[in-house]
Amino acid sequence: MIRVGFLYTRVRVEEKLLLQEFAKRDNVEVVQLCDENAFFEIDRLPTDVDVLFERSVSYSRGLYISRIFAANGVPVVNPPETAERCGDKYVTSQILVQNGIPTPRVLMAFSEEAALAAVEAMGYPCVLKPVVGSWGRLLAKVDNRTTAEAFIEHKATLGVNHQVFYIQEFVNKPGRDIRAFVVGDEPIGAIYRSSENWITNTARGGVASNCPVTPELAELCRRTARALGGGLLAIDVFESDNGLTVNEVNHTMEFRNSIATTGVNIPALMVDYVIRSSKGNS
């Protein structure tokens, strides 16, 4: 019997689908752990499991709980090292650059004055992002110096986490981007996310349609997954004038709008990977 720790914040559509897939597997027991209700000793786990499947909505909660389980010898999907590499946009960008993977140019600044100078150096338009965050929240497209001053002042008042300024090159997309799903280091499917808005996240109204996994896209995804540690990843890719370029990588991917779109049983493949990652199968 393989015992799977299922770490979650709330049971969304994705978590329901994953739990349904686990229920179809023989010799698998799922132990549900809500990150809002539990506390953890750092040298003793609350339950004996063969693998922890991290599905926390909160990056920080998921990261620290993953570290505790990993420190006590339990494999985690995704490992805390992968979460750290994907959860901080600066870290992701730095790893992509170091591995020669195409990605938009990024400037970092740590004061309002330096951030404004960085925006001017990058050129308009450009994009301001929080280094930690998802769902397209708190992104700002900066079109001129006046809006740059306003956005930077606003971010500076939000607190210490927003006083690290991540300034990214604006990529003129063809009204869409690509989200590719990777299991291990192998792409299993991809969608286009189309929108009239420059932010194309489906959480922000983007419309999903199937995207063929071309050899170019597949190889880019493999290189990206290997650089970030592999596992269960969603890779966001832009079609730029110079070819495909990796924007961000998500380590707790959402997929509700992509199963029917791609024709791929994404939760089934994820569950299979988690079971293969357990101590019982190592």
Point out the domain boundary residue: 115, 148, 169: 169
Provide φ and ψ at 237, rounded to 5°.
-125, 140
Q: How far apart are CA 139 and CA 58, in angstroms?
A: 18
Looking at the fold, whether 220 and 95 belong to one and the same domain comes out as yes
Looking at the fold, whether 91 and 185 belong to one and the same domain comes out as yes
* pLDDT tens-digit profile, the chain (282 residues): 999 999 999 999 999 999 999 999 999 999 999 999 889 999 999 889 999 999 999 999 999 999 999 999 999 999 999 999 999 999 999 999 999 999 999 999 999 999 999 999 999 999 999 888 765 566 889 999 999 999 898 887 776 666 799 999 999 888 899 999 999 989 999 999 997 665 656 555 678 999 999 999 999 999 999 999 999 999 999 999 899 999 999 999 999 989 999 999 999 999 999 999 997 665
Looking at the fold, whether 9 and 135 belong to one and the same domain comes out as no
In whole numbers, what is the pLDDT of the chain averaged over residues? 92
CA angle 243, 182, 235 (to 5 degrees): 45
Looking at the fold, whether 182 and 151 belong to one and the same domain comes out as no
Looking at the fold, whether 160 and 176 belong to one and the same domain comes out as no
Q: What CATH number does the domain containing 64 carry?
A: 3.40.50.20
Number of Cβ within 10 Å of residue 13's Cβ equals 11
What is the number of structural domains in the chain?
Answer: 3
Q: How far apart are CA 216 and CA 204, in angstroms?
A: 28
In a domain, 140, yes or no: yes
Looking at the fold, whether 95 and 194 belong to one and the same domain comes out as yes
Looking at the fold, whether 214 and 227 belong to one and the same domain comes out as yes
Residue numbers of the domain that contains 42: 2-77
pTM of the model: 0.91
Looking at the fold, whether 130 and 256 belong to one and the same domain comes out as no
Looking at the fold, whether 61 and 155 belong to one and the same domain comes out as no
Q: Which amino acid is at 154?
A: H
Sequence-ordered strand ranges (E) for the chain: 2-8, 28-34, 51-55, 76-77, 106-109, 126-129, 140-142, 165-169, 176-184, 186-194, 207-210, 231-240, 243-250
Pairing assessment for the beta strands 140-142 and 106-109 based on DSSP bridges:
unpaired
